[in-house]
Amino acid sequence: MDDGGVLDKLQKEAELLKTKLLAERSKVLDKSLSEVTAAVDGIQSYSAKARRVLKGHTSKVLCMDWCSDKRHLVSSSQDGTVIVWDAYTNTKEHVISIRTIWLMACAFAPSGAAIATGGLDNKCTLYPINSSEHSYFTKKKLVGTHTSYLSCCKFFNSDNLILTASGDSTCALWDVESGTLLQSFRGHLGDVMSLDVSPTECYNTFVSGGCDGMAMVWDVRNGQCVQAFDGHESDINTVRFHPCGEAFASGSDDATLRMFDLRADREISCFKRQSILFGCNAVDFSLSGRLLFGGYNDYTVNVWDVLKVQRVTIIYAHENRVSCLKVSPDGTGFCTGSWDSMLKVWA
């Protein structure tokens, strides 16, 4: 049998296995989420106002992250700057200019003593922020380098471990102190755009979403993909774990948000409306997990009731696409960043 025949045989076998898997999943699908929560009262209204408008970037805001102190946040921009803000006083505490454009990723260390950032330079770099301004670059530390752009970075439950996602179709776990690669995660067939760490520390897992339309759950101990979910019809731009750690949400260019349950091993809800035509760039849950926030390319934030799978309200947030969104650690508000170069804190 020639190579073409072997390939055809393997493809047919894979399709057969996929059909059997879908059949097994459908057997245990006794009810939908909306049927299970039929007796639960829906959220009738939700309102939020822009309490702070943070101006300082001169170009598109691409990423932001909250500090664990619930007060400070960091943002990165196309203009090559990273800014640490005091959300209470509306002031800039640190401004770091980096010799690259399109800083697509930034993250606060759990201790709040450092930030990590990267972008089109393919590198993840750590900057200490608890020292004088002149020591930003003398004390900066190169953590790791990918073969394509850095799209996302997250600290993994400590200041000394960081996860990165890249346009080279991989994710990586790095040791910050030594700058060594601890584990590489390969499985996506396109650029990896986002990742999120499970809030349940004992699980040792994280989820990633990519331009192949797949969301994958990984075990950091062996580098293996333990669950894979499809359903989106276009690129996945963002993923976020539910606070319980047993489910996650994803947002895509197909103008939908989808929620996947790890225990059921399937999609359990799809958040969409006919009037929503633009892709979603950022998602996050409220502290209780009842509300799901989505930032879209049509300049809006849609707020969804997770249990009823219904839109609660729409917030006309910015003058350009909403590129990032994060709920504060104490759950009292959320911050959005946009291509209009501004960040806004809502409550």
For the segment 92-108, what is each residue's pLDDT rounded down to a tens digit? 999 999 988 899 999 99
Question: What is residue 136's predicted lDDT score, i.e. its pLDDT?
Answer: 66
Question: What is residue 101's predicted lDDT score, i.e. its pLDDT?
Answer: 86
Average pLDDT over residues 296-316: 97
At residue 262 the predicted structure's pLDDT band, cuts being 50, 70 and 90, is very high
Q: Measure Cα distances from 214 to 56, 228, 229, 250 in Å.
A: 35, 7, 6, 10
How far apart are the C-alpha atoms of 74 and 60, rounded to whole Å?
Answer: 14
Give Cβ neighbours of residue 208 (< 8 Å, ≥ 6 apart). 165, 171, 185, 188, 192, 194, 195, 215, 216, 218, 239
Average pLDDT over residues 192-206: 92
Q: Measure Cα distances from 272 to 240, 275, 278 in Å.
A: 17, 9, 11
pLDDT digits (tens, 9 = 90+) for 14-48: 889 888 887 877 777 777 787 888 899 999 999 99
H or E segment to which residue 66 belongs: strand 61-66
pLDDT digits (tens, 9 = 90+) for 74-93: 999 999 999 999 999 999 99
- Percent of the chain, pLDDT > 70? 97
Question: What is residue 203's predicted lDDT score, i.e. its pLDDT?
Answer: 76
Q: Decide if pLDDT at 278 tops 80.
A: yes
Question: What is residue 33's predicted lDDT score, i.e. its pLDDT?
Answer: 83
How far apart are the C-alpha atoms of 154 and 152, rounded to whole Å?
Answer: 7
Question: What is residue 259's predicted lDDT score, i.e. its pLDDT?
Answer: 97
Contact of 322 with 281, CB cutoff 8 Å:
yes
pLDDT digits (tens, 9 = 90+) for 132-164: 555 666 689 999 999 999 999 999 999 999 999
Average pLDDT of the chain, as a whole number = 94
Instruction: Tell me the Cα Rg of the chain.
Output: 20
Q: Decide if pLDDT at 123 tops 90.
A: yes
Question: What is residue 100's predicted lDDT score, i.e. its pLDDT?
Answer: 86
H or E segment to which residue 236 belongs: strand 236-241
Q: What is the pTM of this model?
A: 0.93
Who has greater pLDDT, 3 or 213?
A: 213
> Which amino acid is it at 236?
I
Torsion over CA of 169, 170, 171 and 177, rounded to 10 degrees? -130
- Percent of the chain, pLDDT > 90? 83
How far apart are the C-alpha atoms of 85 and 66, rounded to whole Å?
Answer: 10
Q: Measure Cα distances from 118 to 59, 106, 295 in Å.
A: 16, 7, 22
Contact of 227 with 214, CB cutoff 8 Å:
no
Question: What is residue 27's predicted lDDT score, i.e. its pLDDT?
Answer: 75
Residue 199 token pair? 């809030």
Contact of 187 with 212, CB cutoff 8 Å:
no
At residue 185 the predicted structure's pLDDT band, cuts being 50, 70 and 90, is very high
How far apart are the C-alpha atoms of 34 and 44, rounded to whole Å?
Answer: 16
> Which amino acid is it at 316?
Y
How far apart are the C-alpha atoms of 172 and 170, rounded to whole Å?
Answer: 7
Question: What is residue 131's predicted lDDT score, i.e. its pLDDT?
Answer: 61
Question: What is residue 30's predicted lDDT score, i.e. its pLDDT?
Answer: 75
> Could you count the other beta carbons within 10 Å of the beta carbon of residue 305?
20
Q: For 138, which DSSP code?
A: T
At residue 60 the predicted structure's pLDDT band, cuts being 50, 70 and 90, is very high
